[in-house]
Amino acid sequence: MRALEVIAVSFYLVVGSTAVPQPLCDSLGTSTWTVQNSNGSIRVGATVPGGIYTDLRTANVLTEDIFYRFNDINYRWVAKDNWTYSTFFDVDPKMLKKDKVYLEFEGLDTVARILLNSQLLGETKNMFILYRFEVKNLLKTSNNSLEVQFTSAIWAAKQLSTETPYPVPPACVPQEYHGECHANYIRKMQASFAWDWGPAFPSVGIWKNVLLRAYNVAHARHVGIETRPDVTDWKVSVTLYLDVATNVTGMLSSTLVLKKYNITTQMTVSISPQQNNATLVFSVPKDTVQMWWPNGYGSQPLYQLVVGFQSDREITQTSVRIGFRTVKLVQVDAVPNQPKKGLTFFFRVNGLAIFAKGSNYIPAHILPELGAEPDLLRRILTGARDANMNMLRVWGGGIYESDLFYQICDELGILIWQDMMFACSMYPATDEFLATVATEVTQQIQRLQHHPSVAIWAGNNENEAALAGNWYGTQANFSIFKADYIKLYVDTIQPIIQKLDKTRSYVTSSPSNGQESEKEGYIAHNPYDGRYGDLHWYEYTLNLWKSAIVPKTRFASEYGIMSLPSLESFSNITLPEDLSLSSELMMSRQHHLGGYMQMIFEIQYNLYLPVNVDLDTFIYLSQINQAMSIKTETESYRRERSSVDSAGEGLTMGALYWQLNDVWQAPSWSSLELSGKWKMLHYFAVDFFAPVLVSPSINVIKQLRVHVISDLQLHSSLNLLLQISVYNWQSLTPVSTQFYPFTLKGAGVVDLGSWNSESYLRSVAGCQAGGHPEKNCFFYFSILSSNASTTLGPNNFLFPVALRSINSPPKANIQVVDVKALKNGQELIVTLGSDAIAPFVWLDAVGIAGHFSHNGFLLVTNSTQLTFSAEKPINVQAFRSSLKIRSLLFPPNANRRK
C-alpha cells in the first residue's frame, strides 16, 4: 500500500467519508538510470535523486574522493561537459485511466531539456523550482523513454551573461576562490561556483525525486497555516494549495489530530486551475494544545494536521505537523518618544522577547543531493541545539533546505531566519529572470510556511550593503542597479511573501536597517547603522579578545573569524608533504585573501606562535583564537541586551555567528567540521550561549566590569552569589576569593559593579612577585546559590594580559586517571588529573566520532571529570588509546615553573 493510501485511510476514519478514488503516484527514482557525457565516451549507471559527481565517483570514473588534494580543480572537467540522464519505465494502466497524468521533477540542477518518448516537454533554468508537465498523451504502458539533457552550468551561466542589456556584476568570484564566473545569472546554488569557505563543484543532475502523478480532479500539494491566539482559543486558518485539473465543487476538510480527541472542520468550496487554493478557519481550545517554544524557553509539541479536498470523483489530501506559536519581528522606537535613537529589532515568540542565539547555516554538502542525508542533518542540527542555540540563519548563497531540515528544526526548537537564495551580487531584472524568481518564491513559501520554526523571510545576503557600499563598481550606474534591486526584492518577492504568509515579517536584505531602509528607498545610506536592523561585522586586524572593539548593534546576524579544522580531517585527503601551512595544497585551500597572514596576526596578539610552527600546533592555536574571539564578541552582544547608550546604540537581541558547518576540509569560519567533529568554538558556544552566564570584561582604562546575563523566565527572584577568585598561575589554589550577593529577577542583564583590575590584583598578596600582578594572576568567576552549595551556569575567566606575556607560565602534566563506559559503551566518563593550571585543555579522540561534554577548557583543579558521547559503541581501551591531550604552549622562559 502506498504511503498516500495509508494517510487516506486515516482520513476516512476521521472524517467518515466513503472511499473514493485517489490520485496515483509513482517514483521514477527507482527506475534504472544511466548518464552519459556529450560525446558518449562516458556512460555509467546513475542514481536519482543524485548528481553527476556522485554518479561518476560511484562508477569509479572519478577514482579519488572529490576533496582529495586538488580534485576541486582537477575534476572541473566534469562541470564543463554536458550530461544526459536517461531511463526507460513502464506505466501502471490504472494511471492512464486518470484524466490527467503529470511528470514532476522536484529538483533539476539546473539548465536542462526534457524529452519523453523523443518529444520535447520543455526546458528548465531554475534549480529551486518544481517542474511539472502534462504527459498522458505521450505515455505508453511499457518502455517509455525519458531523457534529461543537462547543459554545463558553467557554460549556461556564461551564455546567460551575454543575453542581458548590460553587465551585472560581479563577473567572477575572486581569483583566490579557484571558482567560476557569472553565478548570479543562473538560478543555482551560488556557492557551487566557489566561496571563500568552499570549493567550486558546479554540478548537474536530478537532485530531487522524479514522480509520475495521475489524477482526475486535483492533487494536494502544500498546506499554509496561520495560528492566532484569542482569549480562550487558537484561531487556525488552513490553506490547501492544489494542483487542479478541472473546475469542480467539493468538500475541503481538515483534521487536527490530538491525544484526547480530533478536531475536524469541513466546508464546501469551488476550485479551478485558476483558483487553486482554498482556506478554512476553525478554533482550537487553548487547553487542548501546548505552545511551541524555541530551544531553552519550553517544549516543542507538534500536532498532525490532515487536510484534504473531496469531490464525487476523487479525494486528495496531505498531512503536516504544526506548532501553536506566534512570532513577530518588533521594530518600534528604541527609546520612547525619541525617534532619532532608532528602532528595536528583535523577535517576540508567544509574546515573549527572545534573544536569538545561534549561527549561520550553509549547505550541509557542496553537492546538494548529499546535503539532505538524514544522519548528516540530524548531527549538525542536534549539535546546534546542544550548544544552546535557538536560531539558525539559512544563508542566501546556498539552497532552500529539504523538508527534513525544517522538520528537525521544528522538533528541536531552532528558529529559522530564511534568506531567499541571492547573495553577494547584483542580479538581472529581465522579465524572464523575474518570472522564474516569482515561481521559485511562490513554491518555496507554500512549501515552508507551515513550519513553526520559520521566523522571518529575508530577500538576500548583503546585496543592499554591496550596492550602498559600491562593492562591485556599481556607483557609476547606481540608479540602474537600484531600480533592478527594487524590481527583484520589493516588487517581485515582497508581495508574494506578504500574500502567502501574513504571520511573519519580510526584510529585503541582511544586513539591513529594516524599516529604516524601507524609508530610505530600500537602499539605506548606511546599512550598518547600529540603531537599526541587523549587522554583519568582520575584523581581521584588531585584537578580537578585547570587547571594547565590538560594535553595538540591534542584532548581530553575522560575525566570525577563521580557524583550521583538525589534522585528522586532512588525513584521508592529503599526502604527508601537504601537511604544512606553506604547502601548495594548504595554500590552495585558503580561499580568503590574506587568510593565513590574518590568522597569524590575530594569534600573535595573545598567544605564543613558534617560528617554525608545525601544522597541528597551528591548527590548535587557530581554534583557540577563533573560540576566544567569538566568545568575546558574543558575550559583548549579550551584555548589551538591556542597555542603550546616548547615541541610541545597544539593545542587542541577537547573536548569530558565522558559520555553523563546513562543506570540505579547509580553513573556514565554522564551528563544526565536515565530519561533524566539534571545533573548540562549538564547545565554547555551549557556555557563551548558556541560559545564565557570568560575563566579565575589561575596557581600555583597565576597568573590570562583571555582568550576569539571563534568558530565564522566573516566577520569583533568585538570591545568588557572584564568586570572584584570583589564581596565581603557579597554584591550583586561588590566592583570593570574594563573594558578592545579588538578585536575579529574570531575563535581562544584571550589572554587578566594576573594579580597577590593576588595583584589584595589586591588593592580592599572592600576585605581587616581580611587581607585575597582572602577569602573575588571572580572574575566575562563578555564580553560586545563596548558600554557596551549587553553581548556576558555566564558570568564566578573564586574563588581564595576553597569555604570551605572563610571568613564569606553568607546565602542566595532565593525565587520564580513569575511563568508565555507560550506556552500552556510547557514553564514557573521563577523569583527568593535573599538577598545574592548564589553559585550553584539548582532548582529541582520534578516529572516534562523537563529542565531549566540554573541551578547550581552563583547568584550575587537580582533577576534573567530563563525558564523551560516541556516535556508536566503543571499547574503553580503544577509546583510551585514541586520546590525545594538550594544553597551551607558552614561549620559552627562563623563569618557567619546573
Three-state SS sequence of 474-539: CHHHHHHHHHHHHHHHHHHHHHHHHHHCCCCEEECCECECCHHHHHCCCCCCCCCCCCCCEEEECC
Q: Mark whether 673 is an active-site residue.
A: no
> Is pLDDT of 749 > 90?
yes
Q: How high does pLDDT run on average in the chain?
A: 95
Distances (CA, A) of 776 to 3, 388, 501, 728, 733: 68, 34, 59, 6, 14
- Whether omega for the bond prior to residue 511 falls within 30 degrees of 0, making it cis, is yes
Beta bridge partners, 83, equal: 37, 150
Residue whose cell numbers read 553553581: 791
For residue 893, the model assigns a pLDDT of 61
Q: Is 681 exposed, middle or buried (0-12, 13-18, 19+ CB in 10 A)?
A: buried
* 847-850, Cβ contacts within 8 angstroms, sequence gap of 24 or more: 847/568, 847/882, 848/874, 848/878, 848/879, 848/882, 849/675, 849/676, 849/677, 850/826, 850/874
Task: Please state which of the ranges 6-10, 312-316, 874-878, 893-897 shows the lowest mean pLDDT.
Answer: 6-10
Task: Please state which of the ranges 14-18, 20-24, 842-846 shows the lowest mean pLDDT.
Answer: 14-18
Per-residue pLDDT band at 19 (split at 50, 70, 90): low
Secondary structure tally for the chain: helices H, strands E? 20, 44
> Is pLDDT of 261 > 90?
no
> Is pLDDT of 708 > 70?
yes
Longest dimension (CA), the chain: 94
Per-residue pLDDT band at 128 (split at 50, 70, 90): very high
The number of beta carbons lying within 10 Å of the beta carbon of residue 338 is 11
Residue whose cell numbers read 487536510: 307
Q: Of 553-562, 800-809, 817-826, give the range with the top mean pLDDT.
A: 553-562
Element (H, E) at 851: strand 850-852
Beta bridge partners, 394, equal: 361, 418
For residue 9, the model assigns a pLDDT of 28
Distances (CA, A) of 306 to 23, 81, 309, 314: 16, 45, 10, 16
Given 314, 401, 516, 558, which residue is catalytic? 558
Torsion-angle region of 66 (φ positive above 0: left; ψ -120 to 50: alpha; else: beta) = alpha
| Residue 852 contacts residue 569 (beta carbons within 8 Å) | no
> Is pLDDT of 14 > 60?
no
Amino acid (one-letter) located at 43: R
Task: Please state which of the ranges 4-13, 21-30, 427-436, 700-709 shows the lowest mean pLDDT.
Answer: 4-13
Closest CA to 461 of 414, 418, 502, 511: 511
Q: What is the DSSP letter of 164?
A: S
* H helices present in 86-131, as ranges: 93-96
Question: How many whole angstroms separate alpha carbon 463 and alpha carbon 396?
Answer: 10
> Is pLDDT of 788 > 90?
no
Q: For residue 354, give the 3-state DSSP assignment.
A: strand
- 612-657 pLDDT tens trace: 999 999 999 999 999 999 999 999 999 999 999 999 999 999 999 9
Given 180, 226, 369, 462, which residue is catalytic? 462
Per-residue pLDDT band at 770 (split at 50, 70, 90): confident
90: phi then psi, degrees, rounded to nearest 5:
-100, 160
| Residue 396 contacts residue 466 (beta carbons within 8 Å) | no
Task: Please state which of the ranges 47-56, 258-267, 464-473 shows the lowest mean pLDDT.
Answer: 258-267
Convert 382-413 to b/e letters by CB count within 10 Å (16 or more is b).
ebbbbbbbbbbbbbbbbbbbbeebbbbbbbbb
> Is pLDDT of 810 > 90?
no
For residue 203, the model assigns a pLDDT of 98
Q: Which three cell numbers stand for residue 539?
A: 575584523
Q: What percent of the chain has pLDDT over 70?
A: 97
For residue 889, the model assigns a pLDDT of 85
Distances (CA, A) of 871 to 15, 442, 832, 840, 880: 43, 39, 22, 25, 16
Beta bridge partners, 456, equal: 417, 505
> Is pLDDT of 343 > 80?
yes
The number of beta carbons lying within 10 Å of the beta carbon of residue 441 is 24
| Size (the chain), residues | 898
Instruction: Compute and round to an integer the Cα radius of gyration of the chain.
Output: 29
For residue 8, the model assigns a pLDDT of 30
Closest CA to 679 of 661, 654, 655: 661
Distances (CA, A) of 413 to 357, 391, 452, 577, 800: 12, 8, 9, 45, 38
Closest CA to 184 of 196, 167, 200: 167
Question: How many whole angstroms separate alpha carbon 501 and alpha carbon 225?
Answer: 8
Using CA of residue 623, residue 629, residue 632, residue 635, what is the dihedral sign?
negative
Distances (CA, A) of 63 to 56, 57, 58, 148, 200: 9, 7, 9, 25, 19
Using CA of residue 678, residue 681, residue 683, residue 689, what is the dihedral sign?
negative
Per-residue pLDDT band at 10 (split at 50, 70, 90): very low
- 376-408 pLDDT tens trace: 999 999 999 999 999 999 999 999 999 999 999
For residue 35, the model assigns a pLDDT of 98
Contacts of 247 (CB under 8 A, 6+ apart): 270, 271, 272, 273
Termini Cα distance of the chain: 74
Per-residue pLDDT band at 796 (split at 50, 70, 90): very high
For residue 335, the model assigns a pLDDT of 94
Per-residue pLDDT band at 17 (split at 50, 70, 90): very low
Q: Which three cell numbers stand for residue 41?
A: 565516451
Distances (CA, A) of 720 to 276, 550, 682, 694: 59, 29, 28, 12
Mean pLDDT score, 676-698: 98
Question: How many whole angstroms separate alpha carbon 382 and alpha carbon 413?
Answer: 10
Question: How many whole angstroms separate alpha carbon 682 and alpha carbon 858?
Answer: 15
Question: How many whole angstroms separate alpha carbon 226 and alpha carbon 282?
Answer: 11
Q: Mark whether 635 is an active-site residue.
A: no
601: phi then psi, degrees, rounded to nearest 5:
-60, -45
Q: Which three cell numbers stand for residue 153?
A: 552550468
Q: What percent of the chain has pLDDT over 90?
A: 94
